[in-house]
Amino acid sequence: MFKRILIANRGEIALRVQRTCRELGIETVAVYSEPDRNALHVRNADHAVCIGPGPALESYLVIEKIIAAAKATGADAIHPGYGFLSETATFVEACVEAGITFIGPPADAMRALGGKVSGRKLMEAAGVPIVPGANDISLDDFETAHREAARIGYPLLVKASAGGGGRGIRLVERDEDLENAMRGSAGEAATSFKDATIFLEKYVSSARHIEVQLIADNFGNVRAFGERECSIQRRNQKLLEEAPSIAVTPEIRKRLCDAAIAAAKSCGYRNAGTVEFLMDQEGNFYFLEVNARLQVEHPVTELVFGGVDLVAMQIAVAAGEPVPDPDAPVEPIGWAIECRINGEDPFNNFAPSVGLIDFLQMPAGPGTRFDTMLFEGLDVPVFYDSLLGKLIVFAETRERAVQRMKRALRDLIVSGPQTNIPFHLALLEHPDFLSGNFSTGWLEKSFTMPELTDDDPRLEQALIAGAVAAHLIGGDVGEAQGPSSSLKRWTQASRLLSRRGIRIEGGTRGWRRGIGSR
């Protein structure tokens, strides 16, 4: 087993890996940019190395700096987390050259699956169903593109071969729009991934985004962990995930897992990975891509499979151990839901929101888990994505999980940046979500964020957070200076609310707006 692991990441995923390492008795090395100097993953590490200024291109994406930090601290392995360098084959090769174990797939498998075009070809050869499309499309060959588009049929997608996160994807519904879509997709891909390769793919309408978690070892064993439902998306970005999927039967689950295992074995895959599929209303599914890393949404799989630790499995497999119970059944126990808590304003077209966290109340209670980097006093930097944390709940049934998530969302209070907590609360009460009647395009086509009114119960969190924030930053509460207990802070906050026409009736669940002066 490893003695010391460098975590080539930041935020909640760095903390997630650190916790498992601590349980296994493994020391950790944190790398950090200058704005992250006071971040929790730096505080919690056994060793920490600054690798540059805020922009990721000057810090977290610089392979040479990561390798140098590993050598300087004596790390014998590197865990990449997700994002940044986690799916970069040249980073894997740099680790191998430096004599450092990369906790992830080998470079050749990563290359074979990292490009969506090469991945499609590999899956087709392995007998895994793929969406009809055209793999070899040159940006300059519009004649071939139009001919292939006519064969595939509209609507279709122009997609970038490299990268992920929804970038480089254009929906085309008319032949006259194809050329502009190709230019736009290729341009975005070149900027984001330094690879302008594109391909065409049939647009599967009313499709679900279903993915299968797997772990593969060095001995040819591949274990699949059932499916996750990831169809709640905006701008091709996942917002809520759950396991299992309400639309997947045991028979479909078995076929999905068999296809995922075939995909992994087709290229000698090792370590954790996720095979993503599109599934239509009839239960037919098609290969989408492989994410050659741990996924953001991995906790829901951990919870419905009896509390397995996928990070611990990653580390064990990288250290040469076999996958435990590769033939274990894939039937989930219970239901788990994850809400991505993002720094964005759901009442202002989800505009990004960053800044100082001046008050934080963490959710707790049965079946509740909050993976986050947040703490009071954190100044959320502008250089990285909007993910502030992941709120995950587990319950016996989907209905209980939904109710538990609503409770946990109301318990979670973040004062400072705007968050999408109100969005999740509204989503969890929508009839289509509750019935499972949704697809990847549903959110943008059918969901409208409700307007916030004076008698809206969602004001509860905003009022509490605003009052406490006003007190903590020296607002107009007007109490004595000096240290105060949490109880005194809440008492002072309630006085502030009362002065502004808001009264408390039976605790925080009874906050209501009165008619007094503000």
**Shortest CA distance to 313 belongs to which of 299, 324, 325, 304?**
324
- Other beta carbons within 10 angstroms of residue 201's beta carbon come to 22
| Residues 346 and 420 sit within 8 Å (Cβ to Cβ) | yes
Q: pLDDT tier at 451 (50, 70, 90 boundaries)?
A: confident
Catalytic site includes residue 512: no
Strand residue runs (E) in 409-483: 413-415
Catalytic member of 293, 340, 369, 404: 293
Domains and CATH numbers, the chain: 4-103 (3.40.50.20), 105-131+205-333 (3.30.470.20), 133-202 (3.30.1490.20), 340-451 (3.30.470.20), 459-513 (no CATH)
Task: Compute the distance between CA of residue 404 and CA of residue 397 in angstroms, rounded to an integer.
Answer: 10
Interval 333-386: pLDDT, tens? 999 999 999 999 999 999 999 999 999 999 999 999 999 999 999 999 999 999
Interval 304-325: pLDDT, tens? 988 899 999 999 999 999 999 8
Torsion of CA 379, 383, 384, 389, to 10 degrees: 10
Q: How many CA atoms lie within 13 A of 229 on its CB side?
A: 25
Share above pLDDT 90 across residues of the chain, in percent, rounded to a whole number: 75
Report pTM: 0.84
Interval 185-210: pLDDT, tens? 999 988 877 788 899 999 988 899 99
Q: Could you identify the residue written with the tokens 């968050």? A: 419
Query: Comparing 512 with 211, which gets the higher pLDDT?
Result: 211
Average pLDDT over residues 38-48: 97
Q: Which residues of 403-426 are buried (b: 16+ CB within 10 A; e: fewer)?
A: ebbeebbbbbbbbbbbbbbbbbbb
